[in-house]
Amino acid sequence: MRESHEQTSAIIDRLEAMLIEQCSLAWKVHNVLAFMAEALPDDQMGALPVKSTILELRDDVHKLGEALLDLPSSARIEARASCERAGGDDE
């Protein structure tokens, strides 16, 4: 069981490194969208809602960036609980 837990931990470590890189890209997109939104005039009645759409995308990318950061921690918690349920060591 201990070897399985160590293998799972190593996989999560590799996944975390990949997620950090992807998270950096998400924050880059977030910042570009925030910059674009500031440069646009407010949406006008009857026109396409460009600024509102960019602000909504910015907010979604913000949530994505935070969720990506939380994934490794959530995976570690779930792996530890699974190991404990199986009767293995937790570290």
- First-last CA distance in the chain: 11
Tell me, what's the pLDDT at 90? 44
Q: pLDDT under 50 in the chain at which residues?
A: 90-91
How many distinct structural domains can be found in the chain?
1
Tell me, what's the pLDDT at 3? 66
Contact present, 31 and 77 (Cβ < 8 Å): no
Tell me, what's the pLDDT at 69? 87
Residues 6+ apart with CB under 8 A from 33: 54, 55, 57, 58, 61
Longest dimension (CA), the chain: 63
- Predicted TM-score (pTM) of this structure: 0.73
Give the structural domain span for 41. 2-85
Indicate whether 91 belongs to any domain. no
Indicate whether 31 belongs to any domain. yes
Indicate whether 90 belongs to any domain. no
Tell me, what's the pLDDT at 88? 53
